[in-house]
Amino acid sequence: MPRVITYNLNGIRAAMSKGLIDWMSSAQPDILCLQEIKATPEQVGVFEFEEHGYHHYWYPAQKKGYSGVAIFSKIKPDNVVYGCGIPEYDFEGRVIRADYGDVSVLSVYHPSGSSGDERQAFKMKWLGDFQNYIDELKKTRKKLIISGDYNICHKAIDIHNPKSNANTSGFLPEEREWMEQFINSGFIDAFRYFNQEPHQYSWWSYRAGSRGKNLGWRIDYNLVTKNLEKGLKRSVILPDAMHSDHCPVLLDIEF
Cα separation, 241 vs 37, whole angstroms: 16
Angle, helix 173-184 to helix 117-137, in steps of 10 degrees: 10
pLDDT at 7: 99
- Give me the CATH topology for the region 3-253: Deoxyribonuclease I; Chain A (3.60.10)
Strands 31-35 and 3-8: parallel
Catalytic, 149? Answer yes
Residues 6+ apart with CB under 8 A from 9: 15, 20, 34, 35, 36, 37, 38, 243, 244, 246
The residue extents of the domains of the chain are: 3-253
* pLDDT tens, N- to C-terminus, the chain (255 residues): 899 999 999 999 999 999 999 999 999 999 999 999 999 999 998 999 999 999 999 999 999 999 999 999 999 999 999 999 999 999 999 999 999 999 999 999 999 999 999 999 999 999 999 999 999 999 999 999 999 999 999 999 999 999 999 999 999 999 999 999 999 999 999 999 999 999 999 999 999 899 999 999 999 999 999 999 999 999 999 999 999 999 999 999 999
pLDDT at 208: 87
What is the end-to-end Cα distance of the chain in Å, rounded? 7
pLDDT at 23: 98
251: amino acid identity, one letter: L
Q: Which of these is catalytic: 30, 149, 158, 220?
A: 149
pLDDT at 35: 98
DSSP per-residue string spanning 83-109: S-S-HHHHTTT-EEEEEETTEEEEEEE
3-state helix, strand, coil in the chain (%, to 5): 30, 30, 40
Cα separation, 50 vs 220, whole angstroms: 26
Cα separation, 225 vs 244, whole angstroms: 28
In sequence order, what are the beta bridge partners of 188?
224
pLDDT at 45: 86
Buried b (16+ CB within 10 A) or exposed e, 138-159: eeebebbbbbbbbbbbbeeebb
pTM above the 0.95 mark? yes
49 near 21, Cβ under 8 Å? yes
